[in-house]
Structure 1
Amino acid sequence: MSSTLLVEPPLNPVHDIFHVDRVLKPDAAAAPRKHKIIAVLPAYNAEKTLAATVADFPAGSVDEILLVDDGSKDNTVAIAREMGLTVIVHEKNTGYGGNQKTCYKYCLDHGADIVVMIHPDYQYDARVIPHAVGMIELGICDVILGNRVRSRAEALKCGMPWWKYVSNRGLTAFENLTLGQNLGEFHSGFRVYRRQVLETIPFERNSDDFVFDTQFLVQAVHFGFRLGDIPVPVRYFEEASQINFRRSTKYGLQTLTAVSAFWMNRLRLRRSDLFRPKTKPVA
């Protein structure tokens, strides 16, 4: 059997700090890329997993890696700078959604054609980045999500808590039904967007909390973008960040509210600013 045909992805996190040129420099044999790809890492206390996350990026798969630090209390910023990442620091914690707003504004301002968002906690396998990006480049989808739940047995074997699995399956089924989609998962921390999606969706009006992600996808459906997904091996371990049961419950309720707002707006019962087009700048 070829060494590339693995039975399952290994969990061998890299902890040694290295310079980002190792992953930004394309393979000499690779065809020149036509699009600018920026990867964004919304970070909070990610010093233990940042190097491992970036080490899995296939060489030349992105042109730039941006880390936005949301008031970390550890050495995340120092490590990111030592590695040569582009770094933006929030002096105060703005929340997960607030962090992403900064990420996407930077990408739009710096000419990104495709944006990859991945959590820097080494939970998602970054080796699939070129494949997810390819779905965008081929014009098949406008938004690609990493699906952590290829099967129940696999998700639980990788350490997903049973209550998180049940809530993930329930919310995803509800969202697929009410939004007319067929995604394997709506709640992934690995996502790829076409530039037009970020230019169109008024994400600046979204929550600064975790429900930002749900609001973004609901908006993508409203504006007619095509959503798809790709299986992504996931790792649950002590150093990987997770929200607790209480925060997950709050997130679940906020998700139901976001979907309700979508239908209230569609039925013209209550208009929401989440679905109002962006105001174009005056020339």
Structure 2
Amino acid sequence: MPKIIVIVPAYNEEKTIDSVIYNIKKNKDVDILVVNDGSSDKTSLIAKNNGVIVIDLPFNLGIGGCMQTGYKYAYKNGYDIAIQIDADGQHDARFIDELIKPILNDEADLVIGSRYVAKTNYRGSYLRRTGSRFFTFLLKILTGYAIYDSTSGFRAANRKVIKYFSESYPQDYPEVEVIAKLSKMGFRMREIPVEMHERLGGQSSINFKRSIYYMVKVTLAILVNCMSRKEHQKA
């Protein structure tokens, strides 16, 4: 049987982390790693009281540094599959088996749980849906991959991707950028339909102003990745 770990990046999620851990344990017998990203609340204490592995970062690194920490741990400790589940309660652990199936069947290296590849009950904000459509179009044009929910943080990686992410991972808003990077490196990606929920607590850090910054920053990063791939091919 493959050795599987669920990585939960968490920053000030004391209201939701307990139920997120419970949801994972109820649906899948796997190791759980909570990477506490410099939280100032009781996130770390609650996670430890649930008997899971906890890494406490000394200060807030952001989602990129947080997830790379998790991938480094997964690679060092010999895990075959690493699953990302966010700590705000949006991701449903009932879909873990579906998420890892393409990896177990050697059909994909990275599998993304998608809200948009098939009809689901999730709606989300207009801003988020618009951003997803934009990045779907951009990635399709530049990489050839039609990824409909590129901003989804619910994803599973095999051993090869775990190794790559442990060595190289974007620090700021990484979800879309890593798709371009993996495409450049020849990794296989797939989406599967999943149901997602609204946040159980807390507030998203993505407002209108940050959304504009996010789209510009990620677009530039993807363009740089694709341009460097073309230059490499010419050489």
The aligned residue for residue 193 of structure 2 is: 231
**Structure 1 residues not aligned, in runs of 5+:** 1-33, 272-283
Shift of 1:114: 0.5
User: Matched residues in 2 for 1:147 and 1:240: separation?
Assistant: 22
2:89 matches 1:122: yes
With normalisation by structure 1, the TM-score equals 0.76
- Which of the residues 234, 259, 280 maps onto 2:222? 259
With normalisation by structure 2, the TM-score equals 0.91
2:54 matches 1:90: no
User: Matched residues in 2 for 1:240 and 1:59: separation?
Assistant: 23
- Give matches, 1:98-117, under 5 Å: 98-117=65-84
The aligned residue for residue 183 of structure 1 is: 147
Shift of 1:77: 0.4
Paired residue type of 1:197: V
- Give matches, 1:16-165, under 5 Å: 34-57=1-24, 59=26, 61-150=28-117, 154-156=121-123, 160-165=124-129
Cα pair 2:3 2:80 within 8 Å, conserved: yes
User: Matched residues in 2 for 1:151 and 1:133: separation?
Assistant: 18
Cα pair 1:122 1:240 within 8 Å, conserved: no
Paired residue type of 2:188: R
Shift of 1:238: 6.0
Identity %, equivalent residues? 31
- Which of the residues 171, 176, 190 maps onto 1:214? 176
Q: How many residues align?
A: 233
Shift of 1:112: 0.2
Classify 1:249/1:204 alpha carbon distance in 2 versus 1 (closer, same or farther; 3 Å). Answer: farther
The aligned residue for residue 196 of structure 1 is: 160
User: Matched residues in 2 for 1:180 and 1:214: separation?
Assistant: 14
User: Matched residues in 2 for 1:144 and 1:153: separation?
Assistant: 18
Larger radius of gyration: 1
What SS is found at the alignment partner of 1:35?
coil
Classify 1:227/1:150 alpha carbon distance in 2 versus 1 (closer, same or farther; 3 Å). Answer: closer
Paired residue type of 2:135: L
Classify 1:97/1:38 alpha carbon distance in 2 versus 1 (closer, same or farther; 3 Å). Answer: same
Classify 1:165/1:240 alpha carbon distance in 2 versus 1 (closer, same or farther; 3 Å). Answer: farther
User: Matched residues in 2 for 1:188 and 1:50: separation?
Assistant: 19
Instruction: State the superposition RMSD in angstroms.
Output: 2.2
What SS is found at the alignment partner of 2:7?
strand
**Structure 2 residues not aligned, in runs of 5+:** none
Paired residue type of 1:131: E
Paired residue type of 2:186: G
Shift of 1:202: 5.7
Cα pair 2:135 2:176 within 8 Å, conserved: no
User: Matched residues in 1 for 2:71 and 2:25: separation?
Assistant: 22
User: Matched residues in 1 for 2:200 and 2:156: separation?
Assistant: 26
User: Matched residues in 1 for 2:41 and 2:92: separation?
Assistant: 24
Paired residue type of 1:222: K
